[in-house]
Amino acid sequence: MIDCISVENMRRSDAYTIANLVPSLELMNRAAYGVFNAVSWHGHTAVVAGSGNNGGDGFALACILKEHGFDCTVFTVSRNMSEDSACYAQKAEKAGVPVLPFEPGCLAGFDIVVDCLLGTGFQGTLREKYRTAIEAVNASGAYIVSVDINSGMNGNTGEAELAVRSDLTVTIGYVKRGLITQSAGRYIKRLVCADIGIVLAEMEWKICGDQEVLGDGSFRCPPWLEMRPIRVCKG
């Protein structure tokens, strides 16, 4: 069985863990390693990064890819960054990772595109620059990896006006409720969870293989979810 939680519970769990157990930069590094371990990397990789911590996961991933000898370029939709994201952006640039502004057509020729645009905190209407970036990711023809959640998707419901359509989504910490709804199935081909040591604030639902989700018998575990988490103890 694995835990399935709301976005609000994930936020509380993340905050508790950072305040009491693991610094936020280390958690971001672990999240990046979770993504790194989930993908068979090959060819040229583009990371499309937003302004928040989801973008920071992308910069941290770029550092890891560079360290392991994989070609990677980061495209940013904004130079305004969270504190942790800015830290890993500086590390990526220092390591020699190309960091360029996102422009139409910039994803042409890449074999893998990593979606780090918007995290679980997104709700409402997409801003135009994010809408353009999501459309470009979907049209890239590359193997698409979404980090934590498909950008544009509501983490509690799985609904979206426009969202990234991923070949693989690597959700961080725990499976969010929206990722296993029928709505999410329109956007996700395969879903795995990276266990990075976040302490759960509140137990909500348990997913039991192909059986009903305990605590809510209204739906079953979807076929795109892999039950075995990727465990990341340290980077």
What are the extents of the domains in the chain?
Answer: 2-231
Q: Alpha-carbon distance 2 to 212, whole Å? A: 12
Task: Determine the angle formed by the axes of helices 53-67 and 24-38, rounding to 10 degrees.
Answer: 60
Look up the pTM and report it: 0.94
Quick check: helix, strand or coil at residue 197? Answer: coil
Looking at residue 235, its pLDDT comes to 39
> What tokens does 203 get?
């137990």
| Radius of gyration of the chain measured on its C-alpha atoms | 16
Looking at residue 38, its pLDDT comes to 96
| Strands 44-49, 112-116: pairing kind | parallel
Return the ∠ at Cα 15 (arms to 52 and 225), rounded to 5°.
75
Decide if domain 2-231 falls under CATH 3.40.50.2000.
no
Looking at residue 188, its pLDDT comes to 97
Alpha-carbon 30 to chain mean position: 12
Per-residue pLDDT of the chain (235 residues; tens, 9 = 90+): 788 999 999 999 999 999 999 999 999 999 999 999 999 999 999 999 999 999 999 999 999 999 999 999 999 999 889 999 999 999 999 999 999 999 999 999 999 999 999 999 898 899 999 999 999 999 999 999 999 999 999 999 999 999 999 999 999 999 999 999 999 999 999 999 999 999 999 998 888 766 555 555 555 678 888 887 777 854 3
Single-letter amino acid code for the residue at 123 = Q
Looking at residue 83, its pLDDT comes to 93
